[in-house]
Structures are given as C-alpha cells and as structure tokens.
A and B are shown apart, each in its own frame.
With several copies, the nearest count.
Chain A
Amino acid sequence: METRSVKLSSVDVALEGLEDGQTLIIGGSLFHNKPMHLVREIARRQVKDLTVVSVPQASLDVDLLISAGCVAEVRVPYMGFEYLGLAPGFRKAASEGTIRVWECDETHLLAALEATSRKLPSGVAKAGVGTDLHKLNPDLKLVKDHITGEPIMAVGALKPDLAIIHAAAGDKYGNLRYAGYSFGDLIIAEATRQGGGKIIATVDEVMPNVSFTSDPFRTDISCILVDHVIEAPYGAYPCSSHGNYQFDEAAILEYVNAAKSEQSMRDYIENHIMSVPDHEAYLEKHVKLMSVVAARAKIYV
C-alpha cells in the first residue's frame, strides 16, 4: 500500500507560477484572518498589475498591496479600515486613477464566485437594481429574470488564479480548522478550485491528522480545496486569527500613519517587507512576544 503525499510547502514552492496580471483572491475580512505573511511575500516579489479580489471586506491586506504597487484593479465590496477610517492607499490610488475599481455590492462578487463554484456561466443578484453600479461596472448586466421578467443584475463567473487564506490550524494533507469565523474563505476556496486556480493556506499551527478524523464535523475547509499548507505562526499578524488572537490595532495604525506621506510609506514597505527575507525574520523584527501574548489574552475579553 502506498502512502499519501503531504501538502506542507515552503512559500517559494507555494508561490511558484505567480505572475504579473493574475487574479488574486484574499480570504478573511476586514482585520481578521488576513494571510498577511503571504501578502508581504507577494509584495516583496514585486508582482505587478494584479487584479485583487476580497469579499466581504478588505483593509490592510489589499491596501498594502496597492501601496506596494502590485495592483491594477480592485474588486472589493468594502475597502476600508472601519472604525479606524478610510483605506489610505486605496483612496490615494483611486483618486490618482492609478487603479481600476470594480464597483459592486458584495452579493455581485458572491454571485460571480458562486457561479464558478457550481460550474455555471453566471450568477444573479437583486442588489444594484435602481443604482448606478452597473453604469460604473461593465461586468454587471441589468437583465430580465428568466421566469418573472423583473429587472435583476447578472454577473459572469469569476475564476481567480490564486487564493490565499489563513486558518488557525491545519494538517499536513490540507484540512483546515478555524478558531473563530471563517468568513468567506470556503466559497473563495470552492470558486478558486472549481475555476482551475490554486489555493494556498497559511496556518498558525499544524495539527496531527487525527485531530481532524476525531471530529470531521469541525473541519472548516476540506483538504480537497487546498493545494499548499504553510506553517506560519501568527501568520495573520497584525490582523487577527479570528478566535485565536486579536488584531494589533497599534500596528495597523502604524501603517495608516505611514500612509500620510510617500516617503514614510516607502520607509514602511522597506522596513516591513523588502528588508525581511522571511516570516521568521519578520516576527523577530516586528512582533514582540508580549504583544502576541496580549493579542491572545484579549480573546477572552
């Protein structure tokens, strides 16, 4: 009897095939479960002209890729820092016209992903009817419903080339378990797999396979939807690994403040991305033990 192969990978192996102009979809939402380690690795590789997708909400993840000059188009229903303000890099690039923005409602993006996940050519949403969204976004088509004839918004299937997600734990075969909410990561993985793309997951820790077989109902994402598992403790930092550790508000504000001038943003990117060869170096340089101890303790209020 042969044995199963494992999906534990290095970042270099996992990111093979990453190219300018690809469509990258990022899991998590707002400040949570953002695969920040991979975001920094992609930024450090200075990939260009990416179409970056995230649903429902993106903040530091997509904004950092924009500030690092990797992005040509943004497809994110809500792009901002919520109670910490607007997304500075996104706002600047949009105002200067250096990025395209795919204006949408979150249900348009979800319809496009769900269509791909079901191998259907398109999906629909009622959202957008009566708005200007389809006038700003040529991929949104106002049509008549097949049965009732009422106005409805159709959108073609979206097929990401690469999905990056972060979970609290995974096993060597690619099964993933979240400590808190998994947000849109499942539909993101399903759409990417069904569309022919690649899925990379970072995990705070690798657990034995028996931890999954002992309670398979607890597995949030099946190994059939994961191509590479990268062990990256605190891999979502400074964002949260939802339910595992809280986000570091001060570290996020450090980025927001750096965005106040081009020089300070260049310095930030040099300091946090270009000058750190790998995740271990990043943790060494930017993450204090006591700050992750605090981020963990905060989980319990």
Chain B
Amino acid sequence: MSSKNTSVAWPELAAFVLSKELNDGEIGSPGGARSEIPLAAARLAQLTHAPNLMIITSAAGFVTNNVGRPPAPLFHSTTDYRNIYAGAESVLHFMSIFRTPRDWFFAGGMQVDSYGNLNMTAIGDVKAPKLKGPGGAGLSYAGSVARRYFIYMQQHSRRSFVNKLDYVTAMGYGSGPGEREALGLVGGGPALVFSPLAVMDFCDATKRLRLRSVHPGHTVEEVLDNTGAEMIVPENVPTTALPDNDVLEILRTQVDPSGVLQNLKGSRND
C-alpha cells in the first residue's frame, strides 16, 4: 500500500516518536496498558536504525528481534503468545525477567506530575476511591532499575497531568535533582512523556517536565490549558515531526500490517 496522503493516527505518531528514542544495541521492554504502541515503536526501531535492539516482552519473557524476517502482525498485548512469531530467539525463565538488563521500559499511568512521578494506585481516598487503579504492576521496579523509561499517557488533561499525585506508585525524580541518587535508585529515571497532544521531556538541571514538541493540529495553548502540572515551556516549541513516507511504509507494511494502531479506540484526532 502507499502511505501517501494518509493521515497519521496519534498511536502511529507515538510509535514513531518513541522509536527514535531507542538506540541500536539496547535491550528493553514495552509495557503499559496500551502496549501495542511501545511494541510497535521497538519493532520500528529494529527495522530502521537499530537492528541490534532486543525486545523483551517482559510479562511473557520472549526475547525477539525481527530484522530480516517476514513481517509479523502487531497484537494488542505483549503477553500474546503470537508475539513468538516476531523473531523470538529465546524465552526467559520467569524469574530471569527480573535478572536481565533494561536500557528502557515503557510505562503508562493515571496521573503524572511535573517530576515524572506516577500514580497507578487510586484517584481519591484509597479507602473508597473515586477511581481504583490497576495497581503498581512492575512500574516501581522498572523505574528503579531501567537506564531510562518513557511514559505515555492516553489522555492529556488537567486530571492526568497534575502537580500533586493522589498517591506515588512509582517514583520519577521525586521532588527534584539528586533524590534518586540519595535513595540509591540505580535507574536513570523518566526520559520522556508522550501524550495525544504533545511530547515532553525533563530539564536536566531541574528535572522538571518540559514541553518538547506539540503534535500537528494542536497548539501550545491547548496543551497548557489541559496540563495541571507545572511545565517548562521553551520560547520556541516545534511541531512534532511526522514520519516520512519510507518510515511510515515500514510501520504500516512490516510493523503493523493489519492497522492495529490506526484503529485503536480514540486513535483519531483529525
């Protein structure tokens, strides 16, 4: 298929943006409730600039590399058995999942604050919460060991980007520079936040959330209106770059031939 004149759905944009964050030779795990996105990002990286990238589908222990292999379908879950067809070369024992390196992890969250701390526990009083979250999963673990990790939020609102979390389920930069080191957390902390509206990273000096780019069709004002967390806004905020046709072609023909990302619920904002 030709990808020309086909608008890019935000999950596709997410996969593209995140894929560029992954370097050749790294080892990492896609995760979170919408793991199609990081899984696609990692496979896209393998098939473009990072042929030695190894993916561990954490919860199922498959270690995969799809370089030079026939396209494999993208599935909704990293725990799906059929991920074995995407170049699985080994399967880690369950306990070995926690004994192997991660250059990166992906994490979702119900709430994120301006230091990249995450809440997956509850909104409101945990004794009788307005919204009970799914729980800590492996977020705190991943955040403590991974060289860095990427946060992707399915909504960008004042309820999801807040200054004070109802509960800290996983620590990002805590309350600022030096706190991770003081606690002996060996991982580097969150590197980037992706939302349906924008890409954000963290200021090296202050560890504060910082607006990096705004997706096409959206504005800085719109982002700020929907952000309850303090955020550094540089003078010039570029528009999030779209994948060129070659990369989009690889994404749509080799990484996600069945169009799972294009058809994700709420994937369209055009």
Contact = CB atoms under 8 A, between A and B. Distances in A.
Tell me if chains A and B make direct contact, with any CB pair below 8 A: yes
Contacts of B137: 56-57, 77-78, 105-106
Contacts, number: 247
Contacts of A4: 51-52, 65, 67-68
Given A90-B132, A96-B128, A126 B89 contact: no
Nearest to B82: A301
Given A95-B132, A130-B174, A219-B91, A3 B140 contact: no
Interface string B81-103: 11011011111111110111100
Nearest to B139: A105
Q: Main SS of chain B's interface residues? A: loop
A91 B101 contact: no
B127 interface: yes
A173 interface: yes
B62 interface: yes
A101 B121 CA distance: 10
A76 B136 CA distance: 9
Nearest to A152: B184
A56, A151, A181, A301 pick with most chain B CB within 10 angstroms: A181
Contacts of A78: 134-138
B168 A125 contact: no
Interface size class of chain B, counting residues whose CB lies under 8 Å from the partner chain: 35 or more
Interface size class of chain A, counting residues whose CB lies under 8 Å from the partner chain: 35 or more
A213 B79 contact: no
A150 interface: yes
A188 to B, nearest CB: 9
A63 to B, nearest CB: 11
Interface stretch (A9-17, A114-122, A253-261): A114-122
Given A91-B132, A95-B130, A187-B94, A82 B77 contact: yes
A114 to B, nearest CB: 8
A105 B249 CA distance: 39
B141 A83 contact: no
A149 to B, nearest CB: 9
A205 B17 CA distance: 41
B179 interface: yes
Contact of B63 (A83, A130, A185, A222): A222
Interface of B: 24, 27, 33-36, 47-49, 51-52, 54, 56, 59-63, 65, 67-69, 72-73, 76-77, 79-82, 84-85, 87-96, 98-101, 121-122, 126-132, 134-141, 143-145, 167-171, 174, 179-180, 183-186, 250
16 contacts: A4-B51, A4-B67, A30-B77, A32-B79, A77-B138, A82-B76, A83-B33, A83-B77, A103-B126, A126-B141, A130-B180, A181-B60, A182-B94, A216-B89, A223-B90, A224-B27
Interface of A: 1-5, 29-32, 56-57, 76-80, 82-83, 86-87, 90-91, 94-97, 101, 103-107, 110, 114, 117-119, 121, 125-133, 136, 148, 150-151, 171, 173, 175, 180-187, 190-191, 193-194, 209, 212-213, 216-217, 219, 221-225, 240, 242-243, 246, 298-299, 301
